Structure 1
């Protein structure tokens, strides 16, 4: 079968793609394995998708790796996920360096175990001179948490007279979000057949194209990414306007 990469319009590649990596647990159950093995196999999908995004010139790729709600999962699974995260960072740093990938993190990183945050910070520092794909990991993250944090900082700045209430608008608010230095995602992908955004980038995806696939995350590979982008390229993005306005 011909790869979707060959069908892509190279002049219309999304600058920023966000992915809700869902289905690791169901993949494990389907294969008669422990849930953590689903997460382990999901690392190979991350590797393939990061490689594919870099190959076609995507500038920012945000992966929903661990939500604030995930802390409520069984302790054994959370501990295993944290251990896997440390191992994955150690194992993938060399490959990320080779592929000129930078690493960023959004979320309440202070809530992460010290060994995880230390590894993350070390990897970010090691890769910070790279100029290719910016890989953004959303860890201990939720869209509602991010918006509340932004409001807290805005209120503090208003109290300290750094900003005036009458000057608050959507553009100013965006500067208080953790993604202030990158564009909003043009495309949001969710795997596993679920049709919801699960508290992910709630402000940023206001006009994102949504793409849902039944594939479980451990089965998702770079050509699935290219297929999602091909689908995106065949949509009309109107941003509230009519088709006729866009053509004029």
Structure 2
């Protein structure tokens, strides 16, 4: 799918409307922060913020598709989120099923491919079955990859990778001399995906929260005070425009 999003090029005309916007990040990763605070500021239970956040996910997925983003990774549930109250955990882990029940037909129509990263096996069965169904239904799509980080933690990911590498070296599947950053990346949950070009974090905090620590080595960061339920297509466009103004040097001049 190739669609033009108007805000990416102020010089757009009817004649060049089908051109692809320049310098769009291939991979955008988002830390969706602020659902609980959004609800508390309105005198609502925290779960109301998580429910409202689902609508924001749909808006940003559609905006990313229109902008020709190739991969959109959403930090949906972290390994640290298990520390939250059980009632909140249960509610959050029901949201993927609710989101996919409502929006999966539209995702399929827009050629979106569903993917997950994280320790999938530790999730409750209703979450796994809903997500796996969506993965299976979209496996042949070749449009934007919608990548849910579910039960994901970067330190867990790296430790898991190191253990697998040690095991493979012991079994002579890989030599120690052959190990470099490219080979190491193959052992991560994100194997097969490019590293993020742009990281967006909503909610006003400016930290990574154990998210894609290896993969974000040369990623551009963009932070906003907007809480996730308030983050919309215009907010996303501002982040993309900021990315387009930056020059990425990867350690060079």
Aligned equivalent of 2:182: 171
Q: Which runs of 5+ in 2 are unaligned?
A: 1-5, 12-19
Q: Which runs of 5+ in 1 are unaligned?
A: 243-248
What secondary structure sits across from 1:10 in the alignment? coil
Structure 1 residue aligned with 2:120, among 90, 94, 109?
109
Deviation of residue 97 (structure 1)?
0.8
Aligned 8 A contact 1:24 1:42 in 2? yes
Q: Distance in 2 between matches of 1:91 and 1:43?
A: 10
Q: Distance in 1 between matches of 2:225 and 2:56?
A: 15
Deviation of residue 84 (structure 1)?
2.2
Deviation of residue 14 (structure 1)?
0.4
Structure 2 residue aligned with 1:150, among 154, 157, 161?
161
Deviation of residue 177 (structure 1)?
1.0
The alignment's TM-score, normalised by the length of structure 2, stands at 0.92
Q: Distance in 1 between matches of 2:247 and 2:133?
A: 42
Structure 1 position 57 matched with structure 2 position 71: no
Q: Distance in 2 between matches of 1:32 and 1:233?
A: 38
| Structure 1 moving runs of 4+ over 2 Å | 3-9
CA RMSD in angstroms, aligned pairs only? 1.3
> Which structure 2 residues correspond to residues 1-248 of structure 1 after superposition, within 5 A?
4-7=7-10, 10-242=21-253
Q: Distance in 1 between matches of 2:70 and 2:99?
A: 22
Aligned pair count reads: 240
What secondary structure sits across from 2:218 in the alignment? coil
The alignment's TM-score, normalised by the length of structure 1, stands at 0.94
Deviation of residue 5 (structure 1)?
3.7
Q: Distance in 2 between matches of 1:52 and 1:181?
A: 24
User: Aligned pair in 2 of structure 1 residues 167, 216: CA closer, same or farther (>3 Å)?
Assistant: same
Q: Which has the higher helix share?
A: 1
Q: Distance in 2 between matches of 1:7 and 1:184?
A: 28
Aligned 8 A contact 1:5 1:223 in 2? no
Deviation of residue 6 (structure 1)?
4.2
Q: Distance in 2 between matches of 1:184 and 1:223?
A: 24
Greater RCO, 1 or 2 (C-alpha within 8 Å, sep 6+): 1
Deviation of residue 87 (structure 1)?
1.5
Deviation of residue 111 (structure 1)?
0.7
